[in-house]
Structure 1
Amino acid sequence: MTESSLADLEFVVHSIAQTAVDNEKEFGDLDAVVGDGDFGYSLARGFEIVLQDWDDFDRSSPSTFLQKVAMVISGRIGGTSGPIWGTAFLRASTAIRDKERVTGEDAVAMLRAAAEGIMKRGNADLGDKTLLDAIVPAIDALAEEVGNGADAATAVKRMAVVARDRADATTSMIAKRGRASYTGERSIGSPDPGAVAVAVILERLSAAWSART
């Protein structure tokens, strides 16, 4: 993968935000199966503010831009989603501090830092039936594509395929974190909303990136 500019990073973040807003009902309905049903609403309200404040974010560097987005998410998304998603963006910003352009390796480092932040903030790990079960394998796929010299469109498409496969696989898992964990074995039979959100976000980003290039 070649180096990416701030415009590329903005494109990715805007796609994430718009996807969260557009899929509010789908994500909420998934969460309502064994959770409290507020996941879609909380995510949409936070990323709605990101879109509203879009032109006002500090763009002096890629790291600063992500840091400002993280602050909005942390302050505006309710429930457990705000701290989790806010931490992810903040950790990603730290991983590229002082960089003016972002390489494929930097992208991997950003996402690994984000996943690590989610693990620590949510006291969660792979196999707990959370968004980590989709995002960590997707990051591994990105790392492999970067190592093979794939272009961005190819790498993101592979991430989307892997994320969807692993999100679907959470259907057979028992939830060990969040409200869904209170239901025990009743959490088996429906996919984790966060994992599905990761898959949907990456699928939308893949389609948008291919159309863009």
Structure 2
Amino acid sequence: MPDSLEKVEYVVRTIAETACSNEDYFCQLDSVVGDGDFGYSLARGCERLLEQWDELDRTSAASFLQKVAMIITSRVGGTSGPIWGTGFMRASMVARKAETLDGAAAVAMLRAAAEGIMARGGASLGEKTLLDALAPMTDTLEAKLNEGAPVGEALDAAAATAREAAEATKSMQAMRGRAAYTGERSIGSVDAGATAIGVLATAVAGNWPGR
């Protein structure tokens, strides 16, 4: 699946580079009710990923994503490493079983990632986590692709949904992570992880190959 692998590489590299360039922004968001280290932790893991980029296993998209998951898990600090690493690992498991990595497979990979993150972190929708942007983003992507929309258009719509959903986390009270200790004081600020999903999705959509 050379073309599929190329697109998977594009998505992962865009995520890594965007996470690094938004390190300060993500830290600022996290500092409102959290430790303030989310951007730093994610950027360090993504830096290591980019350092090892040419050495990653490209036997298949699944093996590539599995290696990405291992690097992220081991290099991203705090709770973010296991959470993001689990997402990539669950996506790799879907890719391994897929005959072709088409739109339906991409949606299945995102859903598997979300389910893995829920299981690993014990979080549910509405608890002010990245899931509150990831889940609706995936729903929009699936709906647009089922309507027959071009991939670029579907990605734009999914990214817009992620941004809107992240903004909507302002009204939620944090129930997971360090932010949960602040109780009602967490209401009124966006979740850093959910906002990151919106930023990353926008970057992926903006430069999608062949647009």
What's the TM-score once normalised by structure 2's chain length?
Answer: 0.96
Contact 1:172-1:189 within 8 A present in 2 as well: yes
The alpha-carbon deviation at position 171 of structure 1 amounts to 0.6
Residues 1-213 of structure 1 correspond to what in structure 2 (within 5 A)? Answer: 5-99=4-98, 101-209=100-208, 212-213=210-211
Contact 2:174-2:183 within 8 A present in 1 as well: yes
Q: Distance in 2 between matches of 1:196 and 1:53?
A: 27
Aligned length: 210
Amino acid at match of 2:151: A
In structure 2, stretches of 5+ residues that fail to align are: none
Q: Distance in 2 between matches of 1:165 and 1:106?
A: 24
The alpha-carbon deviation at position 100 of structure 1 amounts to 6.3
SS in 2 for 1:198: helix
Deviation readout 1:141-166 (Å, 9 max, x if unpaired): 01101211222111110111000000
Q: Distance in 2 between matches of 1:97 and 1:50?
A: 21
Contact 2:166-2:194 within 8 A present in 1 as well: yes
The alpha-carbon deviation at position 98 of structure 1 amounts to 4.6
The alpha-carbon deviation at position 68 of structure 1 amounts to 0.5
CA, structure 1 residues 124+43, in 2 after alignment: closer, same or farther (shift >3 Å)?
A: same
Which range is displaced more, 201-210 or 52-61? 201-210
Q: Distance in 2 between matches of 1:29 and 1:76?
A: 21
Following TM superposition, the consecutive aligned residue runs of length 4 or more in structure 1 with deviations greater than 4 angstroms are none
CA, structure 1 residues 100+4, in 2 after alignment: closer, same or farther (shift >3 Å)?
A: farther
The alpha-carbon deviation at position 4 of structure 1 amounts to 5.3
SS in 2 for 1:149: coil
- RMSD of aligned residue pairs (Cα, Å): 1.3
The alpha-carbon deviation at position 101 of structure 1 amounts to 3.6
SS in 2 for 1:140: helix
Contact 2:141-2:155 within 8 A present in 1 as well: yes
Contact 2:95-2:109 within 8 A present in 1 as well: yes
Amino acid at match of 1:52: E
Contact 1:93-1:110 within 8 A present in 2 as well: yes
Q: Distance in 1 between matches of 2:3 and 2:127?
A: 33
CA, structure 1 residues 100+45, in 2 after alignment: closer, same or farther (shift >3 Å)?
A: farther
CA, structure 1 residues 80+40, in 2 after alignment: closer, same or farther (shift >3 Å)?
A: same
What's the TM-score once normalised by structure 1's chain length?
Answer: 0.96
SS in 2 for 1:141: helix
Contact 2:98-2:105 within 8 A present in 1 as well: no
Contact 2:170-2:189 within 8 A present in 1 as well: yes
